[in-house]
Structure formats: structure tokens, C-alpha cells
Amino acid sequence: MNLPVLILGARSDMARATARAFAARGYPIQLAARNADSLAEDKADLETRYGVEVSLHDFDALDTDGHEAFVDSLPVLPGVAVCAVGTMGEQSENEADAAKAVLELRSNFEGPAILLGVLANRFAARGSGTLVGISSVAGDRGRASNYVYGSAKAGFTAFLSGLRNRLAKQNVHVVTVKPGFVNTAMTAHLDLPEKLTAEPQEVGFAIVSAVEKSRNVIYVRSIWWLVMLIIRAIPEAIFKKTSI
């Protein structure tokens, strides 16, 4: 019998798509988010569509003091945990309002990292499991257009890399997911290039594949690997003159 897959930040479009992708493979699902009862329709849909057991769990990524208690409250320690927690605020607002910048940094780095650290300890003690962190291509290089968000994702990417290295000999795998543009409610106000923009279900299927194949780092869509390779290679003297 498959151990459940825990979806953290289960209300987002990518999280919902990931839950569906795992449920389609027969995995029980644990949906965790603030006001988890509001996900009752998602629970019913997954159970009806895929015939899997689904449970709802209240979870606040910013309540880092409560992360241990949250994990203790789960009826079963999951076999896979996917962290889809995150926000994407406006760079101009983050520059002008320190409180908004702090919220951006905590939502995209501190909260997810502390929670995955708690789960890492539990998985290591058990001797098995997979942790998946959804980061972003925005963390590959600081850019003027979103460097507060990007720096938080850069920190999260580095955390996941270190965690993967630490757990490599303890039969616990860590997957870093770096989406580029994704067609979600969070990006609905943006004019996104079609060839570079993934649908949420693409991210979900890519995550399932990465878990099953024990991949380390994946880009979604895969072309973003090349795009970010080029962006990282631009000399700083030239890069700082761009408006990327």
C-alpha cells in the first residue's frame, strides 16, 4: 500500500494539479493549507475521480513554532511531501514596504524551509521518503524586476540542495522543482509567452515523474534550463544595464 502524499499549500493551482497527478497513480493524499475545511470540494473530487483516500489538515507555513505539532498531528507520516507554499508580490511594493518584503521572504523561504527541515528529520529517522520543494527559475539570478521574490527562491533552492546532500546516505531524496512561467491565478495579470508558459498539470506530472525517477533538479518547462543558463552567463557589467 502506498504511503500518502502530503501537499503543503494545497490551495494553489500547481498544488491542486500535483495532488491530481499523484492521486491518478493511486496515492492517498493529505491536503494541508490554512482553513483546510475550505478544500472539501477538492477532497470529494479526488476521492470520487480516483478512488483514493484524502484527508484535510490545517497548516500555516508562517507559524514556524507550530510545524512540529503539525507533523505530529498527521495520522500517517507521508511517503512524499510536496511543498507548494509561496507568494509572488509586486517588486515595487516590496521595495517600498518592508513589511511586504518580509512577508515575501518568509512565505517563499523561511516557512517552507523550516517545515521541510522538520519533515527531513522524521523521514531520516524512518529511513525513507521524498521531499519536493517548488522553487523557481527566478532564484537562478537576481533580476531587477523581481529580486525580493527571486532572492527568497534562491535561498530555498540552496536549502534544498544542502538538504539533498545531507540526506543522500539516509535513503531520503530531495527534488528541487524550478518552474518558469505557469498559467495560474497568480500570473493571470501577466502577458506570458506561450512557448515558455506551462499549464499547472504539466508541473504536476513533472513532479510525479521526478519523484519516481529520483531526479534531483527539474525545470518546467525544460527549455527554462537553457534560458537560465544563458541568463546566468551574461557578464554582470552587461547584465546590470538590462531591464530583465
Of the candidates 27, 50, 147, 149, the residue annotated as catalytic is: 149
**Across the 244 residues of the chain, what is the mean pLDDT of every consecutive 10-residue run?**
94 97 98 97 98 98 98 98 94 95 97 98 98 98 94 98 97 97 78 87 98 98 96 96 86
Residue 206 near residue 220, CB atoms below 8 Å: yes
> For this structure, is 149 an active site residue?
yes
**CA proximity to 71, closest of 20, 108, 36, 123:** 123
Ramachandran angles phi, psi of 181, nearest 5°: -70, 135
pLDDT score of 187: 74
CA 193 – CA 100 distance, rounded (Å)? 28
pLDDT score of 192: 79
Domains in the chain, CATH or no CATH each: 5-239 (3.40.50.720)
Handedness of CA 33, 58, 218, 104 (dihedral sign): positive
Number of other CB atoms surrounding residue 164 within 10 Å: 19
Query: What residues form DSSP beta bridges with 56?
Result: 31
pLDDT score of 1: 66
